[in-house]
Amino acid sequence: MSAIGVASSCSCFHPGVWLLKSGMQKMSSFGLHTAARCAAKDYYEVLVLGGGAGGIAMSARMKRKVGAGNVAVVEPSKTHYYQPLWTLVGGGAKQLAASARPTGSVVPKGVEWIKSRVTALDPDKNCVWLENDIKVSYKYLIIALGISLHYEKIKGLPEGFDHPKIGSNYSIHTVEKTWKAIQDFKEGNAIFTFPNTPVKCAGAPQKIMYLSDAYWRKTGKRSKANIMFNTSLGAIFAVKKYADALLEVIKERNIAVNYKRNLVEVRADRQEAVFENLDKPGEIEVHQYGMLHVTPPMGPPPVLINSPVSDATGWVDVDKETLQHKKYPNVFGIGDCTNLPTSKTAAAVAAQSGVLDKTISLVMKNQLPAKKYDGYTSCPLVTGYNKVILAEFDYNAQPLETFPIDQSKERVTMYHMKADMMPLLYWNALLKGYWGGPAPFRKLMHLGLK
């Protein structure tokens, strides 16, 4: 789902690993695929743009539907990253290397990997243009180009990352700087930011804050830290049930939350962060910091801005229930690059992949899509080195929980699911096209209570 081979930053796809036995047995048909080239053909029945979570999952599903030789995925990056792990990498609980695999190892065997970048989409002519003016045509197009990071929209970045005391869990280049900044912290303000744009996993910017708090308590530094969460939003989380739980955590841990504050400049040489007060345009606040974690502004990939497939803001314009394009019936979208009104997470990609699979199957048979995506998304809110609040919800910001327990409670079991089970589920089931979200598991769990 990302043009740079990066999975969404929030990871709950989700826990029913033990239900995947039959799917896992089928996985032997997927082997290492290392061929990377410009398009071997100029036409594919199914063309997938993007080799992140959504793109690889749909490539695997389409391979089973139309045959490997009829599917191609366009992805320039040599490495595929499981970004949900970066919260724990930034907090020192996991190694960065554990989040990376060669792109060739995740592209389904036999599917053509076109190692190039998309430069333009022409849905009226059923083709796309790649680098070096290469044209590739298709019968069906799946757009899974992810979301772009824009550190440069903050004055003083990205060059500010060359200085100490600053990091960001959102980039391969800066996530390890977060852990160093946490370890090297001595005293003063520890500031964690949330930008005034859509982001991948709205919970991630505060997860690292809770891990920092826990680490400094363990090392005896917490009394010297003034932890601040400066967010552009007007609430701590979009779903009230989980927002209430997080506010209790924040109160217990003596964390200051400043709403409607948007980071506009970093003066890294002086350790100063400059925020705009969104309630009072033009008014700025300058804070000295002993540690700064930056969540960058984000937006649609440049190739989608002003594209025929996109809405006025640059996101792929799809039906929110079927994921079929609103204008072009042979074009589909999945993941962070779409305008689906739900939180942008890998959990959402998993649920969307199951729905999109059924949508495309019916479209191929000249039938109307019937399966409806309910906006399911999830974010395992890490609140410590052994605690997680498992948030699951739908388009209406209503809880859509899998387990017959109160998931707004901090739980050790949910932490281990996030840290240990979900990576296995990601690599071995979601990317293989065998995991379409927890809906079947949820039904089984709740039927068992009746």
Which residues belong to the active site?
201, 379
Distance CA 323, CA 330 (A): 11
Cis check for the bond before 102: say yes or no (omega within 30 of 0): no
Q: Which residues contact 413 (CB under 8 A, 6 or more apart)?
A: none
Question: Nearest 10 degrees: CA dihedral of 76, 77, 78, 84?
Answer: -150
For the chain, helix, strand, coil in percent to 5 are: 35, 25, 40
Going by C-alpha positions, the residue among 192, 201, 227 that lies closest to residue 213 is 227
Distance CA 193, CA 294 (A): 5
Distance CA 257, CA 255 (A): 7
Distance CA 425, CA 432 (A): 10
Residues 182, 308 contacting (CB under 8 angstroms): no
Q: Backbone phi, then psi, for 390, in 5-degree steps? A: -90, 100
Token readout for 63 is 């391979």
DSSP string computed for 374-393: ---EEEEEEEETTEEEEEEE
Distance CA 338, CA 351 (A): 14
Angle between helices 53-66 and 346-364 (to 10 degrees): 30
Q: Three-state SS for 177?
A: helix
Token readout for 349 is 């990609």
Token readout for 299 is 């937006």
